Amino acid sequence: RIERKLGEGGMATVYLAEDIKHERKVALKILKPELAAVIGAERFLAEIKTTANLQHPHILPLFDSGEADGFLYYVMPYIDGETLRERLEREGQLGVEEAVRIAREVADALDYAHRNDIIHRDIKPANILLHDGRPVVADFGIALAVSAAGGGRMTETGLSLGTPHYMSPEQASADRDLTARSDVYSLGCVLYEMLAGQPPHTGPSAQSVLVRILTEDPRDVLELRRTVPPHVAATVMKSIEKLPADRFDTARQFMDALADRGFTHTVVPRAAATGAAAGIPKVDASARPASPLMTRAMAGLTLLLAALAAWGWLRPEPEDKVRRLVVILDSLRVDFGPRTAISPDGSHLVYTGSDGNLWLRPLSTLEARPIPETDGARAPFFSPDGKRVGFHRGLGESASVGTVSLEGAP
């Protein structure tokens, strides 16, 4: 029996209800009809049941799920408290000790789920309930069902998974093969916000946030709150590294690092990227001279780019649109620049996928498509008119620059 509406999110409406059979209060979540149509009843029920056996003190259990009169629903215990989102909106920041405790308890829950081969995929303050100050993670299985149905199809109905601020870079680039490291990233963003009062990346729109997740480094949490212990700040910054391999392998490692006062995480700051907007690669400076091999490689790269410029690819434009290439030699190392680039009109994102090919995605959707004949490509960049994408291949004397046409791109 439904008593009253508790709230509404991007995917479902929540009601306070009474389980008459067991004489208890429950939270009834009914998926929005548009989302239910995208997922389908069979897939939804199959995916959400994979989480039914999760039993952990910091995971909100699933009581029931089903379909009634064309509506998809699931039932969970009713928690008399508030979400972490509501707490942060009221207080802005939490005490360091409390923030760390909440993060460690959520990490413990995630580690348990990961060991049972379940990735949450949507860790954010709104999905962390606080009961007597203790966190309980909700909505295991919902994002999994959406992903299994093809998350990009949601854009066809105007639906959204919600705020992008806690998405990992691999989620932002529409990678469906997520690992525990994606949840670790999201939890790191939540802890960052509990400490700093804001997520690592912000922006005026969902698209701008996604772009920053993929292309920009967040400010060190210590810059925003100097009372954060160094080992806690190091844990946070390691957990939100862009490359999954640079993060903690498991939520347990994240949890342990928060308790280890000796934990450190060293990051070499990126130099300012003069040509970042165009995706032009940049190499950091070093006092030591480059080796002859490196000099030849960089000279070859420069000649190739010069040839392209002569051909008209990098032809001069108005002053506010000039693309510059900054090439500075380093000792035995070349940073081939970012893995992503944004088109000049801001409508498309191109990035290097985990398969080593370039992928193109309109920023208005989460659906990406591979770009043919780009195997082994890195450091993509757009032509000034946005009709072609350039990229680098190989190392040393075998280094080359290639281009592909985007005519007919979505």
Distance, in Å, from the CA atom of 168 to the CA atom of 235, rounded to the nearest integer, reads 16
Residue 32 within any structural domain of the chain: yes
Catalytic residues: 122
With both helix axes pointing from N to C terminus, report the angle between 230-239 and 251-259 in degrees, rounded to the nearest 10: 160
Q: What is the pLDDT of residue 270?
A: 59
Same domain (yes/no): 95, 64: no
Buried b (16+ CB within 10 A) or exposed e, 76-91: bbbbebebbbebbeee
Q: What is the pLDDT of residue 328?
A: 37
CATH number at 87 reads: 1.10.510.10
Q: What is the pLDDT of residue 306?
A: 46
Question: Among the three residues 57, 77, 97, which one is the final residue of a domain in this structure?
Answer: 77
Q: What is the pLDDT of residue 50?
A: 76
Residues listed for the chain:
410
Residue 100 within any structural domain of the chain: yes
Q: What is the pLDDT of residue 327?
A: 36
Same domain (yes/no): 380, 283: yes
Residue 266 within any structural domain of the chain: no
CATH number at 50 reads: 3.30.200.20
Distance, in Å, from the CA atom of 350 to the CA atom of 298, rounded to the nearest integer, reads 24
Contacts of 324 (CB under 8 A, 6+ apart): 274, 275, 280
Same domain (yes/no): 222, 169: yes
Per-residue pLDDT of 344-398, as tens digits, reads: 887 788 877 766 788 887 766 656 788 888 888 878 888 888 888 888 887 666 7
pTM over 0.75: no
Q: In degrees, to the nearest 5, what angle opens at C-alpha 16 toward C-alphas 183 and 190?
A: 20
- Below-50 pLDDT ranges, the chain: 151-162, 272-337, 410
Dump strand ranges (E) for 105-219. 128-131, 134-137
Same domain (yes/no): 73, 86: no
Same domain (yes/no): 287, 314: yes
Same domain (yes/no): 122, 239: yes
Same domain (yes/no): 98, 214: yes
Residue 62's domain spans which residues? 2-77
Q: What is the pLDDT of residue 71?
A: 87
The number of angstroms, rounded, from the C-alpha of 44 to the middle of its chain's C-alpha atoms is 23
The number of angstroms, rounded, from the C-alpha of 325 to the middle of its chain's C-alpha atoms is 29
Question: Among the three residues 50, 77, 104, which one is the final residue of a domain in this structure?
Answer: 77
Residue 410 within any structural domain of the chain: no
